[in-house]
A and B are shown apart, each in its own frame.
Chain A
Amino acid sequence: MSFRNFLLGIFASFSLAWGLVVVYPFFKMRAIKPIVLTEATDGKDGLYFPKRAGRVVNGAEVYAANGCYLCHTQVVRPTYAGNDLYRGDWGGLKDNGEGIDTRRETNAYDFQGEKFAQIGVSRLGPDLSNLGRRVEAVYAKGKSPEAWLYNHLYNPRGPVERRKSDCPAFRFLFEERDVKGNHSTDALPFSTAENKEIVPTSDAKALVSYLLSLKKDDAVPAALNFAPAKKKTDG
């Protein structure tokens, strides 16, 4: 084989895959368009293009820099790819308080505002796609969701049911400072000295804001709704 043929072979084999698997899908998915809703199929008119509340960009940076993606994923796989959807609180809530099951798969519109979807490397901890929903509806029901998350980040093994958790304690996202007048509303219930309180830094606040924005169980248009058709109940 001559050098020319060798080079040709290398270029051809690599560029074919590179083009079809990397470059073309990248440019095609760049300009993803919102789904147009129609009254007939989706129940209302308009566009499906969910927005997220919260400090998504800053929080995502803190999430990435501290390696949360190494232990937590953010993808609820369809049933042909895994059993994620069967868990009661990963894809949404099995019962959102009104008897409605809001669980759904992750779709392409779920990562608005982020440059890099933190799909995740492994699941040493649970999936976080709907962490915001879970914290508000289950863990911190009736209480402050931010406070619950601050407590979790500061001391993950605090609650009895989480004694065996392997989540690192992110103490460095908090700072201890003197109490000025009254305790800050964000102060954590752990303190060392009488006149000191532990408060989250701006990184912690951004992160918690990002985590609470993780609610990916909104109603989807018919094109993305894969629930089996309701059977007529007899009797």
Chain B
Amino acid sequence: MSQDTSNTPDKDAIVRASIDRSLRHPVMFFFTSGAAWLAVSIVLGIISSAKNHSPDFLQNCAWMTYGRVFPAHINALIYGWGAQAAFGAIIWLMARLSRKECTAAGTILTAGHLWNLGVSLGILGILSGHGTGMPWMEFPSFAWPVLLLSYTLIVIWSLVQFRVRPAGHTYISQWFIVAAMIWFPWIYLTANVLLHCMSGHPVMAAGINAWFKSAILLLFFLPVGIGTAFYLVPKVTGKPIYSYTLAQIGFWSLAIIAPWAGMQKLAGAPIPYFLPYLGAAATVLIAIPALTVAANLLATAMSSGETVAHSPTLRFTLAGLVGLVLFGGAAVVLNLPETTLPLTQFSLSGYGFDILGLYGFFSFVMFGAIYFIVPRITRREWLSRRLIKMHFFLSAYGVVTVALVALFGGLQQGIGQEQFDQGWDNAAARATPYAIAITLAWCIILFSNVFFFMHLTLMWLRLGRRSSHPTLLVDPHHNSPHGPEGDIDNAGPGTPAAASAAAAGAH
């Protein structure tokens, strides 16, 4: 038997591939159902944003009234897309980093279906008029125990894998992801028990809800995104993390600062006076972990310009990190008590800030992760670089528009609100042009995610490209006799095409 020894799979590669095989069902499920929820959420977002400037749109449908469609949009974005994308990334990353195959794929998959059921019933509950009226917790009260249970059944295995990992060094991503796995149930349980099961002072309940909003974003979505980015950037570029010390600073600053944030939404309300300002200070300080992490990873990737241009994973991840920088900057600018906080407290800025974090950072990193992970678990490559490019550019344009318009427009709106000697229509009218821009931006984002969803579904149906060469954004095989789509080598190595492809370098 002739063996091309240069093509013998590394022992590592076999381990990696077997891990990927073991959790292909749950991870693919989370990514695909998450993407479906993303599409639903964006459609709901377009409808609700349209109602901001054209309130007669769909006015005859009780289920589509703004007060129901907007919470449905946000909750679908967070629990439908955000959480499930996070679960997919968490499971895969923890398994890979612990070098352990997943043995509970069936349980995780069932729990994932349970999560989807909970979210679906919750969204239907909101739209049918049974929302609880607590921002980001509008699911009717039956939903949270279901979601908490399925969460536990999904991530407990990753914690087990972590505990039985091979002795040795723990990688940076694992700190962020293990921490996120511990923080989420703590935050979720606290808020839901205190608000649903116990009776407290109504204004303090509103305060705890504001804390919950901030904590979910800063202590679940942010660390999962950061942990994923810390994995993807060195993996794809092949360069080590720029500075280990900076990574430690990034992690511990997030852990120490973020739990204090959130109450700034209640500045001026009758809760203990210092709480909102403590929250505002903590939100300002979030710029520290945000900038630290982004600087670290952007510096890591900076010397690999060509790889960045070629790799869809890197492009999305680095765009997400730029979003993180903007998020950190916005956190400082929007929360200054004497100047900007009174303006932004009750304006579009809050929405823009949330979307910047959830979509501008977290979703972009998740897209990067999906473009990396899915080929590995389906053993197919992405079909079309054009679809990937469309997804990237349209999403980037869209989210930058939403974020900048909402942040800036919110300030303008706030200025109008503070002009107490004018009638209220002056303040209300200021928001209209920005609302229109946000509707258009969400339409662009929907368009981009339609491409993404189509592409992902084709991969899910095992219709991807069979190849040992990844789909890159730039065609590396200009001179390939097989045309610009690159080589397809079903025949395997030992054929001339495979040899030349191997020589073109590993990506």
Contacts and interface: CB of A to CB of B under 8 A. Distances in A.
Are A and B in direct contact (Cβ within 8 Å)?
yes
Given A81-B342, A166-B55, A116 B133 contact: yes
A67 B428 contact: no
A122 to B, nearest CB: 5
Contact of A14 (B186, B279, B348): B186
B252 A115 contact: no
B421 to A, nearest CB: 8
Interface in A55-87: 60-61, 63-71, 73, 75, 77-78, 81-84, 86-87
A27 B207 CA distance: 13
B348 A122 contact: yes
B133 A64 contact: yes
B65 interface: yes
B203 A124 contact: no
A230 B341 CA distance: 31
A22 B211 contact: yes
B346 A86 contact: no
Nearest to B343: A82
B411 to A, nearest CB: 13
B192 to A, nearest CB: 12
Contacts of B266: 75, 119
Nearest to B135: A121
Contact of A67 (B66, B175, B350, B420): B66
A123 B275 contact: no
B418 interface: yes
B116 interface: no
Interface residues of A, number: 70
Contact of A69 (B59, B133, B183, B199): B133
A69 B207 CA distance: 14
Given A32-B201, A126-B424, A168 B65 contact: yes
Interface stretch (B124-132, B148-156, B304-312, B382-390): B124-132
Contacts of B203: 29, 108, 111, 117, 119
A75 B342 CA distance: 13
A40 B333 CA distance: 47
Contacts of A225: none
Given A67-B131, A116-B209, A169 B195 contact: no
Interface centre among B52, B202, B219 (most CB of A within 10 A): B202
Contacts of B104: none
B23 interface: no
A172 B186 CA distance: 39
A178 B178 CA distance: 63
Contact of B346 (A6, A10, A16, A123): A123
Contacts of B135: 69, 121
B122 to A, nearest CB: 13
A10 B181 CA distance: 11
A115 B131 contact: no
Contact of A81 (B53, B195, B209, B267): B267
Contact of B255 (A9, A67, A75, A106): A9
Contacts of A63: 133
Nearest to B344: A122
A227 to B, nearest CB: 17
A23 B189 CA distance: 12
A146 to B, nearest CB: 21
Contact of B202 (A117, A125, A168): A117
Contact of B129 (A66, A68, A166): A66
Contact of A77 (B182, B208, B267, B421): B267
A75 to B, nearest CB: 5
Contacts of A87: 420
B439 interface: no
Interface string B182-217: 110010001000110001111111111101000000
Interface centre among A23, A67, A84, A156 (most CB of B within 10 A): A67
A81 B417 CA distance: 13
Given A17-B259, A125-B428, A167 B55 contact: yes
Given A14-B259, A65-B131, A75-B269, A21 B278 contact: yes
A107 interface: yes
Contact of B194 (A22, A32, A77, A106): A22
Nearest to B248: A1
B427 A67 contact: no
Interface string B401-425: 0000000000001000111110011
B65 A83 contact: no
Contact of A18 (B52, B70, B259, B278): B259
A110 B271 CA distance: 12
Nearest to B277: A81
Given A29-B204, A75-B269, A18 B186 contact: yes
A164 interface: yes
A68 B279 CA distance: 25
10 contacts: A10-B179, A10-B255, A26-B194, A29-B271, A65-B130, A65-B132, A67-B71, A70-B66, A122-B350, A167-B55
Given A9-B255, A122-B350, A168-B51, 19 more contacts: A10-B179, A21-B263, A23-B190, A26-B204, A64-B133, A65-B130, A83-B420, A111-B203, A115-B199, A115-B205, A116-B206, A119-B265, A119-B266, A121-B346, A123-B347, A166-B52, A166-B55, A171-B59, A172-B65
Interface of A: 3, 6, 9-10, 13-14, 16-18, 21-23, 25-27, 29-30, 32, 60-61, 63-71, 73, 75, 77-78, 81-84, 86-87, 105-108, 110-111, 114-126, 156-157, 161, 164-172
Interface of B: 51-53, 55-56, 59-60, 62, 65-68, 70-71, 129-135, 170, 175, 178-179, 182-183, 186, 190, 194-195, 199-209, 211, 219, 252, 255-256, 259-260, 263, 265-272, 275, 278-279, 337, 341-342, 345-348, 350-351, 413, 417-421, 424-425, 427-429, 431-432
9 smallest beta-carbon distances between A and B, as pairs: A67-B67, A64-B133, A77-B268, A81-B268, A17-B259, A172-B62, A117-B202, A29-B201, A86-B420
